[in-house]
C-alpha cells in the first residue's frame, strides 16, 4: 500500500462526475505487480489481490464487485477509507509491530544480541527489562498490564522465550522477537496461507499420506503406538487434497486423480494418556523438551497424522515415511510449523499451513522427557 502511494498508483480519481479519493485502477495495479516482480503473471496477480479482498484489506470503491477483476475498475485499501476491521488478532499484531519499530529506532535499545547455552540470539531482551521499558514509555500503566501484554505477544507468536520453555514473566528470563518486522515480505507469501474450505471438504485428515504407488495390498499404515489401541489409517493422496484446494503445486504438476477413500478409521481415540494444556507445556520447569525436525516430503507428502487442538499432537506416524525418518513420534506436541507459532491453533489450521507450504517442512515439536 505504501509503495503504491509513493508510485502515485493510489490517488484521487474521477469517474462519472464523481471523485473517489485514494483509489487505484485494477488493471494498472496488475501491470505494476508484474513490472515490480511481485507476481510472475496476471493470473497470479489476480489471485494475490483476491486474497487481499477476502481478508478485507481492499475493496471495490462502491462495493459492487466481490471479486477482483483485472479491468478498469476502481478499488481502494480499507486502511485509506477507515473501513479496515480491527480484530483482536490484528490489534495484537499491530501492537507488536509498533513496539518493535519503537525499540529498534532508539540508540540504547533493550534489544541486543545475547548468548544462552552457547547459542547466540538476535533481538533479545529480559522479561523484566521489557516490563520496565513498557512502563517507562507509557505503553502500560503498571507491571501487571505489561505482563498481560507480553503474554498476548507470546501467544500470537510475536515474541517467545529463546528456548521455548517459558511463558512471559516479569523476571530475568531471556526472550526475543520471533518476527522480524523489518524483513521485506513478498506478496506471493499470501498464497501459502491456509484454505480451510478445502480442508473441510476433504474426507479425512490430509496428513493420512502414503506413497503414490504403494505395494500391492499395502494401502494403509499403522500408528506407531505399541499397544492394542493401534488402528488402521486409510490412505489419502496429497495430490487429491491439493486439487480440492484449487492450488497448483510445482511438485505435483501432473493432473492427479481425485481419491475419495471410504469412511476411514483415522485414530478417533487420542493416543494421549491425558489432556495437556499450553500452560502446562510452557510452564517453568515443565518436563518437556523441544526438538526441531526437518522433513523432506516424498512424492505425496510427509507421512504423519496430526490431531487435537491448542495444543495439537502427533496422532500417528508412517514407519516408512519421511516424518519417521526425521525423528517424529506419536504424542509429540506441535509447537511451530515453518517458523509459525501454532500452539494456539487447531489441527485443521495446522493442516492448512503444512499442505500449502514448501515441500521441505520444518517443525518444532515438544515431547515429554522420559
**For position 358, what pLDDT does the model report?**
82
Cα angle, residue 168 at apex, residues 167 and 170 outer, rounded to 5°: 135
**For position 232, what pLDDT does the model report?**
33
SS3 at position 2: helix
Q: Report the distance separating Cα 191 and Cα 194, nearest Å.
A: 8
* Residue 180 near residue 296 (C-beta atoms within 8 A): no
**For position 46, what pLDDT does the model report?**
94
Inter-CA distances, 71 with 3, 42, 178, 261, Å: 21, 11, 40, 42
**For position 87, what pLDDT does the model report?**
79
**For position 299, what pLDDT does the model report?**
67
Q: Report the distance separating Cα 259 and Cα 282, nearest Å.
A: 40
* pTM, full prediction: 0.47
Burial (CB count within 10 angstroms: exposed 0-12, middle 13-18, buried 19+), residue 70: middle
What number of residues does the chain have? 370
Q: Report the distance separating Cα 327 and Cα 314, nearest Å.
A: 12
Q: Which of 126, 341, 356 is nearest to 366 (CA)?
A: 341
Q: Spell out the per-residue pLDDT of the chain, length 370, in tens.
A: 888 999 999 999 988 888 999 999 999 999 999 999 899 999 999 999 999 998 889 999 998 888 999 999 999 999 888 888 877 888 898 899 999 999 988 888 999 999 888 888 888 999 999 999 999 999 999 999 999 999 999 998 899 999 888 999 999 999 999 888 887 777 887 777 544 333 333 333 334 333 333 344 433 333 333 333 333 333 333 333 333 333 333 333 333 333 333 333 344 478 888 889 988 898 888 899 999 999 988 766 788 889 988 899 998 888 888 898 899 999 999 999 988 889 988 888 888 888 777 888 999 999 998 7
Q: Which residue has the cell 497448483?
A: 248
Structural domains in the chain, sorted by start: 1-77 (1.10.10.10), 88-177 (1.10.10.10), 278-368 (2.30.42.10)
Pairing assessment for the beta strands 11-15 and 18-25 based on DSSP bridges: antiparallel
Q: Give the residue ranges of DSSP H helices in the chain.
A: 2-6, 26-35, 42-54, 78-81, 88-104, 127-136, 143-155, 196-201, 238-245, 278-282, 322-325, 347-355
Q: Which of 24, 30, 29, 26 is nearest to 12 (CA)?
A: 24
* Residue 131 near residue 150 (C-beta atoms within 8 A): yes
**For position 184, what pLDDT does the model report?**
75
**For position 25, what pLDDT does the model report?**
96
Inter-CA distances, 9 with 5, 21, 78, 315, 367, Å: 6, 12, 16, 50, 51
What backbone phi and psi angles, to 5 degrees, belong to 173?
-85, 140
Q: Report the distance separating Cα 4 and Cα 131, nearest Å.
A: 37
Contacts of 261 (CB under 8 A, 6+ apart): 203, 204, 234, 235, 236
Contacts of 140 (CB under 8 A, 6+ apart): 134, 146, 149
Cβ atoms within 10 A of the Cβ of 32, count?
Answer: 18
Q: Report the distance separating Cα 192 and Cα 361, nearest Å.
A: 13
Q: Which of 156, 178, 189 is nearest to 52 (CA)?
A: 189
Amino acid at each position: 500500500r505504501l509503495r503504491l502511494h509513493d508510485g502515485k498508483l493510489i490517488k484521487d480519481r474521477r469517474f462519472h462526475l464523481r471523485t473517489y479519493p485514494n483509489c487505484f485502477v485494477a488493471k494498472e495495479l496488475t501491470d505494476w505487480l508484474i513490472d515490480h516482480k511481485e507476481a510472475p503473471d496476471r493470473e497470479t496477480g489476480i489471485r494475490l489481490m483476491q486474497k487481499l479482498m477476502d481478508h478485507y484489506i481492499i475493496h471495490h470503491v462502491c462495493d459492487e464487485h466481490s471479486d477482483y477483476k483485472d479491468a478498469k475498475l476502481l478499488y481502494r485499501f480499507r486502511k485509506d477509507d477507515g473501513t479496515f476491521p480491527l480484530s483482536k488478532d490484528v490489534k495484537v499484531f499491530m501492537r507488536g509491530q509498533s513496539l518493535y519499530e519503537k525499540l529498534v529506532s532508539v540508540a540504547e535499545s533493550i534489544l541486543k544480541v545475547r548468548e544462552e547455552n552457547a547459542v547466540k540470539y538476535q533481538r533479545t531482551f529480559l522479561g523484566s527489562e521489557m516490563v520496565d521499558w513498557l512502563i517507562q514509555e507509557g505503553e502500560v500503566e503498571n507491571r501487571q498490564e505489561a505482563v498481560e501484554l507480553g503474554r498476548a505477544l507470546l501467544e500470537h507468536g510475536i515474541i517467545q522465550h529463546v528456548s521455548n520453555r517459558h511463558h512471559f514473566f516479569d523476571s530475568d528470563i531471556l526472550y526475543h522477537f520471533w518476527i522480524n518486522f523489518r524483513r521485506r515480505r513478498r506478496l506471493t507469501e499470501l498464497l501459502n496461507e491456509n484454505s480451510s474450505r478445502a480442508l473441510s471438504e476433504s474426507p479425512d485428515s490430509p496428513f493420512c499420506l502414503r506413497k503414490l504407488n504403494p505395494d500391492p495390498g499395502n494401502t494403509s499404515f499403522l500408528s506407531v503406538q505399541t499397544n492394542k489401541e493401534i488402528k488402521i489409517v486409510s490412505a489419502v493422496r496429497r495430490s487429491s487434497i491439493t486439487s480440492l484446494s484449487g492450488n497448483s503445486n510445482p511438485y505435483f504438476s501432473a493432473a492427479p486423480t481425485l481419491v475419495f477413500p471410504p469412511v476411514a478409521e483415522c485414530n478417533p481415540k487420542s493416543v494421549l494418556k491425558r489432556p495437556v494444556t499450553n500452560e502446562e507445556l510452557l510452564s517453568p520447569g515443565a518436563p518437556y523438551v523441544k526438538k526441531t525436525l526437518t522433513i523432506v516430503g516424498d512424492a505425496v507428502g510427509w507421512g504423519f497424522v496430526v490431531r487435537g487442538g491448542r495444543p495439537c499432537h502427533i496422532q500417528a506416524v508412517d514407519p516408512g515415511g519421511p516424518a519417521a525418518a526425521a525423528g517424529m513420534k506419536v504424542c509429540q506436541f506441535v509447537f511451530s510449523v515453518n517458523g509459525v507459532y501454532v500452539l494456539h491453533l487447531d489441527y485443521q489450521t495446522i493442516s492448512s499451513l503444512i499442505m500449502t507450504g514448501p515441500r521441505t517442512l520444518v517443525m518444532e515439536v515438544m515431547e515429554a522427557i522420559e
